[in-house]
Structure 1
Amino acid sequence: MKIGELSKETGVAIRLLRYYEEQGLLVPDRTPGGQRRYGSDAPAVVRRIRALLGAGLPTRVIAEVLDCVCGSEAEIEPCLSPLLVARLDEIDARIHDLQGARSSLAALVAATEGKSLADATG
């Protein structure tokens, strides 16, 4: 299928499909004229990419693990569990840091407005 057909079937913009190709996530064949041609599995691959991006994985990690995704968009090989758990731990740490930053910022806002911390944090 052509890139426009893939875009229409998956709902992913052509520009993003080209980006996925640049990142090594999606590999089309090329016609002698240089047009991209995608295999019948391309829509499933794009859905897997979107699911992994939605889970917060960067494209460099997705490139490493995409071949280990099987079946539906969310089914993965058990060998990926440590990588995904590590990524989940990173996200949890960022959330914790953001919560601390939010509390500090709320306290500063409250101080500038003459409110108590309890009033600022809701």
Structure 2
Amino acid sequence: MREIGRSIRQSRKNGRLRRVEDFFVPSNFNFVVEAVNDVAGFDQEKNTYKTPSLALKLGHSLKKIADILECEAKMKESDNEAFLRNLERIRSLYEKKWNVCFVTCPTDT
């Protein structure tokens, strides 16, 4: 949880993601990657990380949080279809693209 908190704090400094929910909007995926790169200490000049495993660990944590949010949304009686679709799409992005993003994804958006 501490790492997720650091990611949220960093994303607020970057000014793009304000709330935890913003991490689970598919159009914000590149901003999430940027925040995680900052937290993991990515050096663009050297193309290295201060803490390489942290970026992958954060991806795993974000997928778990998406699963928890999905369960919570399904248990509520209100209409959460748009939110559930976003969770499904972002979880798919995390599963399919996260590992490669720290090698090939541009973080400039």
TM-score after normalising by structure 1:
0.31
Which is higher, the Rg of structure 1 or of structure 2?
1
Structure with greater helix percent: 2
TM-score by length of 2: 0.34
